[in-house]
Amino acid sequence: MEEIESKAIFGRRLKRFREESGYTQSILANILGVERSTYTYYETGKTTPAIFDLMRLCRLYRISLDELCGYSANSVDAMRLSDSGQRVKVYARRKERRYLADSVLDLSTDEQQLLAYYRSASPEDRAELFEHLRNARYRDRRHANEK
């Protein structure tokens, strides 16, 4: 019974991070390479993502695996810590995520997906993607000048 409750709690955390970041289930499913229904199962607690997918979500949300899973140094939810400095830090991070979520919602679906892919990529893949985009932009400028 405890495992089922833990999966449900974890699923609610996934949903909260997704909503605070402004992503849809479809976009995250595409990022993870799973069906949208599979991602829905993650949020409802029916199944859990593989560790590789958890790490991609952590990179996307810019959080630690501990934070994604709801662990703190004392195994207490970060919002319940008595240290007011910690609460301010968590509040600021949430406020920043809400601001970013609003910004993400202003983007087209393609732009949201591109941003999500970039954020979930490894540093090496990010550098390669950035270089590819820079080269494509340079080619476009060169072709425009030739006309």
Domain of 96, CATH number, reads 1.10.260.40
Quote the number of domains for the chain. 1
Distance CA 92, CA 139 (A): 41
Integer CA distances (angstroms), 14 to 62, 82, 89, 142, in order: 13, 24, 20, 44
Distance CA 83, CA 72 (A): 13
Please report the pLDDT score of residue 15 as a whole number.
94
Interval 55-84: pLDDT, tens:
889 888 888 888 888 876 544 444 444 444
pTM: 0.56
Interval 3-41: pLDDT, tens:
666 788 889 999 999 988 888 899 899 888 899 999 999
**What is the rounded (10 degree) CA torsion for 52, 108, 92, 89?**
10
Q: Which domain, by its residues, includes 83?
A: 2-146
Q: Where are the beta strands (DSSP E) in 35-109?
A: none
Distance CA 37, CA 110 (A): 20
